[in-house]
Amino acid sequence: MNVILMGPPGAGKGTQADLIKANFPIPHISTGDMFRDAVSKGTDLGKEAKKYMDSGQLVPDEVTIGIVEERLAQDDCKKGFLLDGFPRTVKQAEALDRALAQIGKKVEAAIDIYVPEDVLVERISGRISCKNCKAVYHLTFNPPAKAGVCDKCGGELVQRSDDQGEAVKKRLEVYAEQTNPLIEYYEKQGTLHRIDGNRNTMEVFADIKKVMESL
């Protein structure tokens, strides 16, 4: 199963990826998580990525494509993968197709979760996540049992720096300009599945599950 999860910031990709991971035996690869990890470790990659992330811009294609190719070459991806937040540009999608073709694979499903912009802003502004295990909550839609504390591991819940201020607006603009064209890209390939993400989490997941089971 070689699947990519698309959709604007706040569409629910990470939330759905957690459910997919629990139901299908494929690794979840989130480029956003990989960059945030690198930032928190203070690596060279993290220092480079942080310059773009803080202002809501995309990390340059060369850097992003490189880390994804490295990750896809790891053993656990032999049985398939769930890419979340990659590709985000046509250049990245073409690079992914080339890299997969070299090992006799292809993207089997591009699942696009769509949600109206006002709902995205509401979701992004209320998102909090665990510093330790990265579990994602929402202050209103999915609050933790105890404010500020992760239900799963007891870690501290924090707001992402790019979920505040101007970066939110910028990320939505960047999505519309650079990532939206991928819908047509995958439609032409015949692998696109569009899912209404403006419903409760389990309803959205039921539709995604159907797509995954059809592969």
In the complex, the residues that contact ligand ADP under the rule CB under 6 A are 7, 9-15, 123, 126-127, 136-138, 141-142, 200-201, 204
Residue 94 and residue 106 in contact, taking contact as beta carbons nearer than 8 Å: no
CB of 134: closest distance to ligand ADP in angstroms? 10
Block residue for tokens 């994804």: 68
CB of 44: closest distance to ligand ADP in angstroms? 25
Give the residue numbers annotated as catalytic, written as ranges. Answer: 13, 88, 127, 160, 171
Give the whole-angstrom CA distance, residue 59 versus residue 52.
Answer: 6
What character string, x for contact with ligand AMP (CB under 6 A) and - otherwise, covers 72-91? -------------xx-x---
Span 5-44, contacts to ligand AMP by CB under 6 A? 9, 31-32, 35
Could you tell which of ligand ADP, ligand AMP, none binds residue 201, using a CB distance below 5 to 8 A set by kind? ligand ADP
Q: Does the protein bind ligand AMP through residue 52 (CB under 6 A)?
A: yes
Residue 27 and residue 82 in contact, taking contact as beta carbons nearer than 8 Å: yes
CB of 78: closest distance to ligand ADP in angstroms? 25
Tell me the sheet residues that pair with 136: 129
Pairing of strands 127-130, 2-6: unpaired
In the chain, alpha helices (H): 13-23, 31-41, 44-53, 61-72, 90-102, 117-126, 166-174, 181-189, 201-213
Q: Which residues contact ligand AMP by CB under 6 A?
A: 9, 31-32, 35, 52-53, 56-59, 64, 85-86, 88, 92, 162, 171
